Chain A
Amino acid sequence: MARWTMAIDLDKCLGCQACTVACRMENNTPIAGPEQAEKGRAILWNEVIPFVEGEYPNVTARYIPRPCMHCDDPLCVKVCPVKATYKNEEGTVLVDYERCIGCRFCTVACPYTVRYFNWHEPYYPESLKAHLNPDVPIRPKGVVEKCTFCVQRLQRARAKAEAEGRVFLASDYVPACVQTCTGRARYFGDLDDPTSLVSQLLKSPRAFRLLEELGTKPKVFYLREG
């Protein structure tokens, strides 16, 4: 079994938000509209968060692309009363949209605020409706959703390898954000394989995780700028 991991090199990240858009197209996240987005109700599984540090004249702006951290000790899974959110055998944290009761305990427990709630019935403009991804279910009103590491791509890659009668390789599976990244800042692979690129990158002195002190053991890590 693989343990899927993502690495994001902040030196290479341009802050272009192509990952955010690719994620939306891949995962059918509904359109909130400007008015709802203003209220903080936009659903962007993969947000690029600006951090402005310091005060004038010593100001620096940093960008941190933030998918779900797919923690090894996920707090969202701990608090879910109905096991609607769970960690699968490959360490990816997923949501069962059919079971979720919409209590939003997971959304408040997640220290990374990566989880999104469907405040309304999902809406797509006509122009987008024709391009919805048939592999990804549309989430109903009142449930929680978040980044899945494009789990549908994993299923598809496995099926394809099987159909072609060859062994499935970790390199067959790439989430949309990684595939699209303009600066090639994202890496994806199997952490259980010590020769994989992500395993090698994790050894870098630049490697760090967000809010590491909380002990959630995220499987998304970053390479520091500098």
Chain B
Amino acid sequence: MSHLESTVFATLRKTGIRFYILFGVLAALVVWGVFAYIYQLIEGLGVTGLSRPVYWGIYLTNFVFFIGISHAGTLISAILRVTQANWRRSITRIAEAVTVFALCVGGLQILIDMGRPDRILNMIFYGRYQSVFLWDLTCIGIYFMSSITYLYLPMIPDFARMRDKLTDIARWRKWLYTLAALGWKGNHEQHRRLEIAIAIMAIAIIPIAVSVHTVVSWIFGMTVQPMWHSTIFGPYFVVGAIFSGIATLFIAMAIMRKVLRLEAWLTDKQFDYLGLLLLVMSAFWCYFTFAEYLTTVYSALTHEMHVADAKLYGEYAWAFWLMVFCNAVVPFAILTRRAGRTVMGTVIASVFINIGMWLERFTIVAPTLTRPSLAFEHAIYQPSWVEISITVGSLALFALLFVIFFKLFPSLAIWEVEEGIEIEERNRINKQLSLEDLRAMEKA
């Protein structure tokens, strides 16, 4: 058994006390969130801080935020696969898992926000495509299906390996791995077919992912409300989504690297390269933000300025400027230097970016609603303990799904990483051979 395999399998074999503690803490937070939700279900949305005209608050913020995070994964891993970046091999599994779980928790936010969740199926029975919500349902649904497929496909050879080599585990797990491996034998034909399937999915998933955050942005963009009605929102949201997605990926990678001892495969190289990508996304984000706000403030339309004032100098100024600090100042200060693109550096930047991107979603959702066009007086919005509890519970649920998943399934795509090592080895030998050839020619 190779070093790679034994390291990855170690956590699948043995479960230590640390796992139970982490599981317990996360589960407790989720239970608290569920309790808050049941309370909301019984009492009505009156237990939130929402009101007229601030009808949407942090549930919608969470929705946009989590759906944004989901772009980390699959999109990044798909692009890196398509461009055959070899260093991607050890991070794709984590990235794809981030996507699937972020989508689960993100979709849940809409259900939590609904006044009548018992009528959710009306969206299907009476759904009309005139509404942006139906576009969202469609795009997110397709994205969820394809993300699961895309997560599953490269897992098949790993399932087979677990089926064959993990002998000392519970019966149901054995049964699960056998079933999921779909009779994988690892012969040439199977590999060829798998590669084709993965290649198709990798390409197909890129436009799907782009469509998802575009239609999410259109929930706002398609209205006539000041500072929502903006043509830039589609690409702006997609960029923000990838930005926060990579940041989340960094945090997940760093934790797993430490806890599961994956230092040999999640190396400085991964953090350096991905850190550069994060910096590029930060630059994009700055550009879009600047373009959006300058256009608004320069042309200074009355209704728009009410909202812009609230964001730039008013009661939302703290959130706005903190967002700028988190999304622009911190990433540039840390990631522009090679010495900053270490595990520690990227994780610090990522934590800030996630806070900043959540605030970005918040400063898009709330200020516009507090300043309706027919402004009689300015509303205020203060999330209640129920909303905060459900938000914390949602974050915990995201982490919990992640923890359970990687307790049952390998944290790296073992066969892909092995393939990568083989390729590197071959390249090295080829290089050596050609060097020897050169020397021989020189001698001659």
Contacts and interface: CB of A to CB of B under 8 A. Distances in A.
A81 B123 contact: yes
B55 A79 contact: no
A121 B122 CA distance: 21
Interface in A157-216: 210-211, 214, 216
A142 B225 contact: no
B130 to A, nearest CB: 6
A12 interface: no
A214 B224 CA distance: 7
B113 A118 contact: no
A91 B373 CA distance: 24
Contacts of A140: 116
A66 B374 contact: yes
Interface in A61-102: 66, 75, 78-84, 99-102
B19 to A, nearest CB: 39
Chain A binding surface, main DSSP class: loop
Contact of A107 (B52, B123, B126): B52
A143 B116 contact: yes
A194 to B, nearest CB: 30
Interface size on A, as a range, is: 35 or more
**A108, A116, A211, A216, most chain B CB atoms within 10 A:** A108
Given A79-B131, A81-B134, A142-B115, A101 B120 contact: yes
Given A75-B224, A101-B116, A105-B219, A117 B52 contact: yes
Contacts of A50: 376
A119 interface: yes
18 contacts: A41-B51, A75-B224, A80-B128, A82-B122, A82-B125, A83-B126, A99-B126, A102-B114, A102-B119, A103-B133, A104-B113, A105-B219, A108-B55, A109-B224, A111-B374, A120-B43, A141-B115, A214-B224
Listed from nearest, the 3 A-B pairs whose CB atoms lie closest are A102-B115, A142-B115, A119-B46
Interface of A: 36, 39-41, 49-51, 66, 75, 78-84, 99-105, 107-109, 111-113, 116-121, 140-144, 210-211, 214, 216
Interface of B: 43-46, 50-56, 110, 113-117, 119-120, 122-123, 125-128, 130-134, 137, 219, 222-225, 369, 372-374, 376, 379
